[in-house]
Amino acid sequence: MIKLLSIFLSYILILFNSNLIAEENINELKIGLLAPFSGDYRNLGESLLLSTQLALDEIDDKNLTIVPRDSGSDDKGKLNIAIKEIIEAGAKIIIGPMDSSFNGELNKYKDIIFISLSNRQPKINSNVINIGISLESQLKAIYRFIKKENKKKTVIMYPKNEYESFIDKKIASSQFKNFKIFKYNPDPKILTGEIEKLTNYSQRKKNLEIRKKILAEKKDEKSKREFKKLDQLYTLGNVNFDSVIVIDFGNNLKSVLTSLAFSDVDDEEVLFTTVNQWFDESLFYGNTVKNLYFPSIDLKQFKKYNDNYFKIFKLKPNEITILAYDALGLIYYVWKKNNGIKSVNDFFIKEKIKGKIGTFQFKDNTVTQELRIYKTLEKSFVKQ
């Protein structure tokens, strides 16, 4: 299978490159693709290439050509070589790179438009448009959902790490009011104690013990019934918040959710939300929080994309490659609508653009996505 894939990828590259020697066509749209075809992220690069091939086939326009080049893995020199080769091939719009840390390099190519897949900065910076699922778009969707659920006291939780200051700035510029920030140590051994303090666990546990002791001395039926009910609990009394946002993912997220559950925070009373989820089914297993909500791309379109990708290539795509698929569709839409693309200003169109990941909007020099809220429920994801 790997050998067949390599042959297929080579065929695609040869097919793409053969278009470079064709006679220049003023009606032709050439789009560069910067992807890591070598290094640690080679598999991702190959998946990105197949994703754009899938989009190319569905658009089915002979005037559209992709020029792929190897940007390497965290290799500034190789990135610049790839950009120059793409420009020499006649493309003035480039999909990529993945990492926003290279934006300084991209600014050197003033006449070239880069559609980056990064989610770090939704603001359109000179010649760079980032279309990744930004934290701003996710927080905006969560804000609307929390407001709809009539929650008044929100705790925003995130770890003390290298992304801390980045998250600080995003929250400061968000719509949230009357919220509390809680930064935690990602070490699970320390985390549990920190969350116990946040939830006032020791006092609530003591409240239960005191109340049970009082009831145990009474003999009336009402007291007996209350004692029996309290005997099923771990604490007595509510926490001082009604919604929580955990800005974390993977095992770290699960550790936070587990600690909250062990501190007896009821997910029927407190709204649990999180970010950065691509329908991770591991959330169904070993997770003590059953009612977990998160903003995400359209699940139906995500499944359709994955199914089509697997049907054609017999492989599962990297989840982020759907962004490259949408990037190609976005560029083509703007090109057709404006009869060409001269600068990033051509992307500032009033109407919303529907893609696989959701609905794009270019407003106030910012790219936003209208995300949907999903809930984990009985080993499935349910749209709210």
Task: Say if 31 falls within a structural domain.
Answer: yes
pLDDT at 139 over 80: yes
Please state, in angstroms and as integers, the Cα–Cα distance from residue 342 to each residue in 30, 90, 331, following that order. 13, 14, 12
Whether 243 is in a domain gets the answer yes
Residue 308 and residue 173 in one domain: no
Residue 305 to residues 54, 131, 313, 316, 372, Cα–Cα distance (Å):
9, 18, 12, 10, 17
Residue 10, judged by CB atoms within 10 A of its CB (0-12, 13-18, 19+), counts as: exposed
Query: Could you tell me the two tokens for 236?
Result: 């007595």
Q: Residues 180-208: what's their mean pLDDT?
A: 94
Q: Does the structure show a pLDDT above 60 at 4? A: no
Percent of the chain topping pLDDT 70: 92
Domain stops at, among 248, 267, 296: 296
CB atoms within 10 A of CB 383: 11
Q: Do residues 42 and 152 both lie within one domain?
A: no
Q: Residues 184, 269: one domain?
A: yes
Same structural domain, 184 and 54: no
Residues 6 and 109 in one domain: yes
Residues 146 and 37 grouped into a single domain: no
Tokens of 207: 């409240």
Lowest mean pLDDT among 152-161, 211-220, 301-310: 211-220
Asked whether residue 377 carries a pLDDT value surpassing 90, the answer given is: no
Q: Is the pLDDT of residue 110 over 50?
A: yes
The burial of 365, by beta-carbon neighbours within 10 Å (0-12 exposed, 13-18 middle, 19 or more buried), is given as exposed
Q: pLDDT class for 113, splitting at 50, 70, 90?
A: very high
Asked whether the beta carbons of 208 and 230 are under 8 A apart, the reply is yes
**What is the pLDDT confidence band of residue 358, given thresholds at 50, 70 and 90?**
confident
- 209-260 pLDDT, tens digit each: 888 888 888 888 888 888 888 888 788 888 999 999 999 988 899 999 999 9
Is 33 part of a structural domain of the chain? yes
pLDDT higher than 50, residue 21: no
Structure tokens at 206: 């003591």
Residue-wise pLDDT tens digits, 247-286: 998 889 999 999 999 899 999 899 999 998 889 888 887 6
Percent over 90 (pLDDT), the chain: 58
Average pLDDT over residues 334-353: 89
Instruction: Say how far apart CA 351 and CA 329 lie, in whole Å.
Output: 15
Residue-wise pLDDT for 25-45, tens only, equals: 558 999 999 999 988 889 999
Say yes or no: 86 and 153 in one domain: no
pTM: 0.86
Please check whether residue 231 lies inside any domain of the structure: no
CATH number at residue 70: 3.40.50.2300
Q: Are residues 158 and 29 in the same domain?
A: no
My answer on whether 159 and 103 are in the same domain is no
| Domain of 181, in residue numbers | 135-199+239-296
Assess whether pLDDT exceeds 70 at residue 8: no
Total domains in the chain come to 2
Is 227 a domain residue?
A: no
pLDDT of residue 269: 93
- Specify whether 260 is located in the same domain as 356: no
pLDDT value at residue 25: 54
Query: 7 pLDDT band (50/70/90 cuts)?
Result: very low
Tell me whether residue 334 is in a domain. Answer: yes
Residue 71 lies in a domain: yes
pLDDT in tens, 62-76: 999 999 999 988 888
Two structure tokens written together for 197: 């303090």
> What's residue 327's pLDDT?
93
Using DSSP, state whether 271 is helix, strand or coil.
Answer: strand
In a domain, 379, yes or no: no
Of 253, 280, 296, which residue is a domain's last?
296
Same domain assignment for residues 104 and 189: no
Residues 28 and 149 placed together within one structural domain of the fold: no
